[in-house]
Amino acid sequence: MSIYSASTTAPVNIATLKYWGKRDKVLNLPTNSSISVTLSQEDLRTLTTATTSPDFAKDQLWLNGKEESLASERTQHCLQDLRQLRRELEEKDSSLPTFSQWKLHIASENNFPTAAGLASSAAGFAALIKAIAKLYELPQSESELSKIARKGSGSACRSLFGGYVAWEMGKLEDGSDSKAVEIGSLNHWPEMKAAILVVSADKKDTPSTSGMQLTVKTSDLFQERINNVVPKRFEQMKKSILEKDFPTFAELTMKDSNSFHATCLDSYPPIFYLNDTSKKVIKLCHAINEFYNETVVAYTFDAGPNAVLYYLEQSEDKLFAFLYHLFQNVSGWESKFTKEQLSQFNAKFDEIKDDVSFYLDSELHQGVTRVILTRVGPGPQDTDLSLIDSATGLPS
Ligand code: DP6
């Protein structure tokens, strides 16, 4: 069997200015522009292998070893677009193998538990698009490919880039100007780190797609958000990233998370993504910033209770004096720090504890199952790893 293969890894991104609301559901066009930070693939990434062969009978997909359907309209949309671009190449150069007519076998794997409720669809669609684009040897830029990823899942378009990324909403009806662009590379501001507090949720949240539809339809506050709040904030946040102004970046990030969750509460019937643990984490972050009289940490929450805390490397000791004290019983610390470093966080807490006047909830760790310590990272990467056996065309 002659099998052609290509593999890519793609990162997770966590928005600091949230995408919430579609103006076109089929093309996945948003009601506002958004901004995100791409996270390191050492901690969170999807690896995808795309293969094609004239001998494959049908398109097939395996996720974490289990066969999954490719039938969703969104996935079909992405595959059609990629095949169309490949067809254009084949029409110009008849020596190319006719990949556009052959079926695909795709295998994909996350290096983190999909059940943790982290933005796995963003990394998943970004990796899918990049792996097939590499297989097809498409010349399109990342921004061009981001328009295809967008049709898979809106937030996925931002995972085509590393560092600091904007999804420009665009104005055109056909979506050809709704794409991701880089605001600043990973090297522009490499000191940005993130601590993700994985919060245990007892029930499944409203999926983001239906949640945002309900918000668009029923929330009055949402109109204020998209017309007056976000356009201004988008420019301010871009500027704060370009100037590496963490206090401004942090304040805008926290306010935007709160604004997005306010529109969820203003939906009818209301949608609740934050739980009691999330709310305690919000209070804790404000208390920490107040304690140091300095912005050391910013929180943001997506469509679920997990907290993503952004901070700068130079503030790690200050932040972790609190976080390690509160969450040391939760897994995730030992893989990132030596015993000495961890005991320094404890020592730092001992130093300041008498001055801490706010309530430190010693039960807070019970609502958190895991801490993922990561940082800003690069965009999708080529890899020689492969998830498909080149002799059989099946998962290896
Ligand atoms: C709260 O990208 O998952 O994480 O386009 O319907 O697939 P679809 O939605 P999705 O929504 C993400 C919403 C968010 C905010 C964000 O990532 O900007």
Is residue 17 situated within a structural domain? Answer: yes
* Pocket flag, ligand 1, residue 19 (CB < 6 Å): yes
The number of the ligand 1 atom at minimal distance from the alpha carbon of 153 is 7
* Pocket flag, ligand 1, residue 303 (CB < 6 Å): yes
* Pocket flag, ligand 1, residue 219 (CB < 6 Å): no
Residues 204 and 309 in one domain: yes
* Pocket flag, ligand 1, residue 75 (CB < 6 Å): no
Residues 135 and 28 in one domain: yes
Residues 202 and 144 in one domain: no
Our mutation pick for probing the ligand 1 site, out of 16, 78, 155, 260, counting the most ligand atoms within 8 A of Cβ, is 155
Is residue 145 situated within a structural domain? Answer: yes
Is residue 396 situated within a structural domain? Answer: no
Residue-wise pLDDT tens digits, 156-186: 999 999 999 999 999 999 999 999 999 999 9
Residue-wise pLDDT tens digits, 121-133: 899 999 999 999 9
Instruction: Give me the CATH number covering residue 165.
Output: 3.30.230.10
Spans of the chain below 70 pLDDT: 114-117, 119, 201-203
Is residue 138 situated within a structural domain? Answer: yes
Residues 46 and 114 in one domain: yes
Residues 172 and 284 in one domain: no
Question: Whole-model pTM?
Answer: 0.97
Residue 8 Cα to ligand 1 middle (Å): 22
Is residue 383 situated within a structural domain? Answer: no
Give the model's pLDDT for residue 115: 60
The number of the ligand 1 atom at minimal distance from the alpha carbon of 167 is 18
Is residue 391 situated within a structural domain? Answer: no
Give the model's pLDDT for residue 116: 61
Q: If you take atom 7 of ligand 1, which residue's CA is the nearest one?
A: 153
* Pocket flag, ligand 1, residue 213 (CB < 6 Å): no
Residue 338 Cα to ligand 1 middle (Å): 36
Residues 166 and 315 in one domain: no
* Pocket flag, ligand 1, residue 120 (CB < 6 Å): no
Give the model's pLDDT for residue 322: 97
Nearest to 366 by CA among 197, 222, 123: 197
Is residue 229 situated within a structural domain? Answer: yes
Range of the structural domain that residue 329 is part of: 192-375
* Pocket flag, ligand 1, residue 250 (CB < 6 Å): no
* Pocket flag, ligand 1, residue 18 (CB < 6 Å): yes
- Which of 161, 185, 209 finishes a domain? 185
Report the complex ipTM. 0.99
Residue 309 Cα to ligand 1 middle (Å): 18
Give the model's pLDDT for residue 1: 74
Instruction: Give me the CATH number covering residue 363.
Output: 3.30.70.890
Residue 156 Cα to ligand 1 middle (Å): 8
The number of the ligand 1 atom at minimal distance from the alpha carbon of 74 is 7
Number of separate domains in the chain? 2
Give the model's pLDDT for residue 347: 97
Residue 19 Cα to ligand 1 middle (Å): 6
Residues 242 and 179 in one domain: no
Residues 51 and 108 in one domain: yes
Residues 131 and 260 in one domain: no
Backbone angles phi, psi at 58, to 5 degrees: -155, 160
Residues 180 and 196 in one domain: no
Q: If you take atom 14 of ligand 1, which residue's CA is the nearest one?
A: 302
Residues 250 and 344 in one domain: yes
Give the model's pLDDT for residue 184: 98
Give the model's pLDDT for residue 119: 67
Give the model's pLDDT for residue 200: 77
Residues 87 and 158 in one domain: yes
- Which of 137, 156, 185 finishes a domain? 185
- Which of 138, 169, 185 finishes a domain? 185
Is residue 133 situated within a structural domain? Answer: yes
* Pocket flag, ligand 1, residue 99 (CB < 6 Å): no
